Amino acid sequence: MDGDIIRKIDLEKEDENNVSHLFLADESETLIRRFLTKQMARIMLLLVDHTMTNKEIAEKMDLTSSALSNILQRMKRCEVELLEIYKKEKYVMYSLTPAARAYAEKNLVLKGKGSVRLIKVNETDTLEWQNCRNALEKLKERLGEDWDVEFPHCCFLHYEHGGKNEIPEARSFFETAEELIIREQNGQWKRILDDLENEVCRKSYLRYADKFMFIRKLCFLDAENWKMAYRLIDDVFCGEEIRISYDFLADSGDLSKEEIVGMVKALADIRKQSQERDLSGKEFLNEWERYFMPHEKLVYFIAEKYAFTKGKGERI
């Protein structure tokens, strides 16, 4: 779910003075802010005042158990420990560590009036957003009054010509914008879109950037139903013509036509770009791996399919 998440907390059940931000060092706060995705922040909000089982979290998040398990595993990789986990009878219980709770109280919770507090997610000026915003300002300064004409040309050079003859300010902007997408900071990314100032520039950029949004959608599908994700990849890489099998469409469930078409176009586009540049399987992996993180197995599978379609019998 994009944008803000708002939840009400009954303050009569909580003494705000019990929360101490002394648990949160500046370095830890920075590490957590850079690490968190939207879904991780939602889980932290659920656990601010509660200890819950994975089943309860999945129900609240409207996720399958496999999708939730993937997110929880990723949260365990944070340099600052976020989750306290223990077994109670046959259940695995989850709560926040003191540092994680202090971060949530300080950064994700806004005090309201009376007995209610509003919790807002995705409004933070993250480090990635700041980097992208700074890069955009420098690009605007470089292009000056020719912005409306030159920015679409910058998009063309970066995405169609592999950055040949590209000015460094443009490369810096596109790379920092992609980082927002990779880290699933969708709210911050949309704020950057608004800063592009006019519809022509936005459409010129979205023509290429939408691909990365649908790559992240494929990653989400991988977490929720990896068999479906792999079946889609098989269909895209099974021959020269791209055809989606009836079986995939029949089992696509809640996936919309737009989402299916978007994922197919994204895969077809990176395949086409890679073939035009005559990338080997290993080069393909090096080129695209970052956009799929942390789904290493998924991108490795795609790279193997790409290498096989080149007809060289290459192993990665």
Q: Are 16 and 88 found together in one domain? A: yes
Top-confidence residue, 42 or 13: 42
Q: Are 8 and 114 in contact (CB under 8 A)?
A: no
Instruction: Give how far Cα 144 sits from Cα of 75, 141, 159, Å.
Output: 42, 5, 22
Q: Are 108 and 138 found together in one domain? A: no
Q: Give the pair of three-digit tokens for residue 87.
A: 């077994």
Residue 63, in any domain of the structure? yes
pLDDT at position 204 over 60:
yes
Residue 203, in any domain of the structure? no
**Which CATH number do you get for residue 45?**
1.10.10.10
What is the domain range of residue 297? 215-309
Top-confidence residue, 4 or 263: 263
Q: Are 182 and 166 in contact (CB under 8 A)?
A: no
Residue 71: strand, helix, or coil: helix
Q: Is 41 exposed, middle or buried (0-12, 13-18, 19+ CB in 10 A)?
A: buried
Instruction: Give the tens place of pLDDT for each residue, 280-297.
Output: 889 999 989 988 988 889
Kindly indicate the confidence band of residue 176, based on its pLDDT and cuts at 50, 70 and 90.
very high
Q: Are 110 and 131 found together in one domain? A: no
Helical (H) or strand (E) element with 117? strand 117-119
Residue 91: strand, helix, or coil: strand
Q: By mean pLDDT, which of 238-242, 263-267, 312-316 is the weakest? A: 312-316
Q: Are 162 and 114 found together in one domain? A: no
- pLDDT confidence of residue 252: 67
Looking at residue 62, what DSSP letter applies? T
Residue 140, in any domain of the structure? yes
Q: Are 225 and 254 found together in one domain? A: yes
Residue 146, in any domain of the structure? yes
Residue 1, in any domain of the structure? no
Please state the domain count of the chain: 3
Residue 293, in any domain of the structure? yes
- pLDDT confidence of residue 2: 40
Q: Are 178 and 236 found together in one domain? A: no
Instruction: Give the tens place of pLDDT for each residue, 110-140.
Output: 555 444 444 444 446 778 888 999 999 999 9
Residues in the chain: 316
Q: Are 48 and 98 in contact (CB under 8 A)?
A: no
Residue 233, in any domain of the structure? yes
Torsion of CA 281, 284, 290, 294, to 10 degrees: -30
Instruction: Give the tens place of pLDDT for each residue, 78-106.
Output: 889 999 999 888 788 999 999 999 988 88
Mean pLDDT of the chain: 80
Q: Are 19 and 93 found together in one domain? A: yes
Q: Are 107 and 152 found together in one domain? A: no
